[in-house]
Amino acid sequence: MTFDTQKGKFTALVDVDLKLARGEVVSIIGHSGCGKSTLLNIVAGLNRHTAGVLLLDGKEVTGPGPDRAVVFQNHSLLPWLSVYDNVRLAVDKVLSKRMDRRQRHDWTVHNLELVGMGHALDKHPHEISGGMKQRVGIARALAMEPKILLMDEPFGALDALTRATLQDTLMEIQAKLGNTVIIITHDVDEAVLLSDRIVMMTNGPSATIGEICEVKLDRPRRRLELADDPEYIRCRSAVMRFLYERQRHPKAA
Ligand SMILES: Nc1ncnc2c1ncn2[C@@H]1O[C@H](COP(=O)(O)OP(=O)(O)OP(=O)(O)O)[C@@H](O)[C@H]1O
């Protein structure tokens, strides 16, 4: 991925070769500015990659589409619409050919209930907490039945307790629905807790995949039980070593 900038060409990513299995949860971790969002935006179709190819179910994708829904760090809800209408808008846009009005209503409510927001359908974004807004954002993304759920630091702006609750919600939903998820995070514990694989990016410019850690922990995962688990500790220190030993100095890397 090369950007044209005022100072000339800037190569953000090179040779990123990654294949996800259906139902897999993969997190992307790396220092600030290494190109995580750029990579996610390529998958989302928001960035047009300048070389290489992106395949989904064997077909090339070249732009955004409802088969890839994004949850951003800052919810991106429409402030003038209720919680219900924020999700309903996406449902109407994506599913009106397949579902009649009644079904679209039920589907909207169902997805909000799935994330624990069934009690706040008529509230507006300014009336609910940051964690609740993220829940609505996740409901909106899930309601589009994407093949891949793309999450760009979805819990990064939340306090630690709310973050933990939402991580648990995400794991419960993923266990139920089998979603394929790519999640960007800065949080090593979050990466180990949520992921089947952790993709560690080298520092930019010309960032690439440095290492991949496979997390061989059974599901469901419970954070308290994991703290002393040898596999948890192994993955955690593998990521820490990568980030703070090998990729510590951006220039040298
Ligand atoms: N549209 C653009 N034009 C020029 N350069 C860009 C553009 N988008 C991103 N970059 C550059 O690409 C590099 C990667 O940016 P990106 O936002 O993907 O990093 P990141 O790993 O997501 O960072 P952070 O963790 O801080 O969010 C940065 O050097 C950034 O300045």
3-state secondary structure of 200: strand
The predicted structure's pLDDT at residue 41: 96
The predicted structure's pLDDT at residue 73: 83
pTM for the predicted model, two decimal places: 0.94
Judge if the beta carbon of residue 37 lies within 6 A of ligand 1. yes
Ligand 1 pocket test, pick from 1, 3, 184, 200 with the greatest ligand atom count within 8 Å of Cβ, gives: 3
**Average pLDDT per consecutive 10 residues, the chain (253 residues; last block may be shorter):** 96 97 97 94 95 95 93 88 97 95 97 95 96 94 94 92 93 93 96 98 95 97 93 97 85 49
Task: Tell me the CA end-to-end span of the chain in Å, nearest whole number.
Answer: 19
Judge if the beta carbon of residue 137 lies within 6 A of ligand 1. no
- Minimum-distance ligand 1 atom for the alpha carbon of 5: 4
Judge if the beta carbon of residue 3 lies within 6 A of ligand 1. yes
- 49: nearest Cα among 7, 11, 8, 6: 11
The predicted structure's pLDDT at residue 248: 80
8 A C-beta contact, residue 246 and residue 253: yes
The closest residue, in CA terms, to atom 1 on ligand 1 is 3
Longest CA–CA separation in the chain, Å: 59
- Minimum-distance ligand 1 atom for the alpha carbon of 35: 18
The predicted structure's pLDDT at residue 250: 59
Cis peptide before 205 (omega within 30 of 0): yes
- 56: nearest Cα among 128, 142, 157, 149: 149
The predicted structure's pLDDT at residue 47: 93
The predicted structure's pLDDT at residue 253: 45
What the block records as the tokens of 236 is: 């955690």
Question: In DSSP terms, which residues pair with 148 in a beta bridge?
Answer: 68, 180
Ligand 1 pocket test, pick from 1, 4, 38 with the greatest ligand atom count within 8 Å of Cβ, gives: 38
Residue with tokens 């410019």: 205
What the block records as the tokens of 153 is: 């630091």
Task: Give the E-state strand segments of 6-125 in sequence order.
Answer: 8-11, 25-29, 55-56, 59-60, 68-71
Integer angstrom CA distances of residue 203 from 192, 200, 247: 20, 10, 6
Cis peptide before 66 (omega within 30 of 0): no
3-state secondary structure of 150: strand
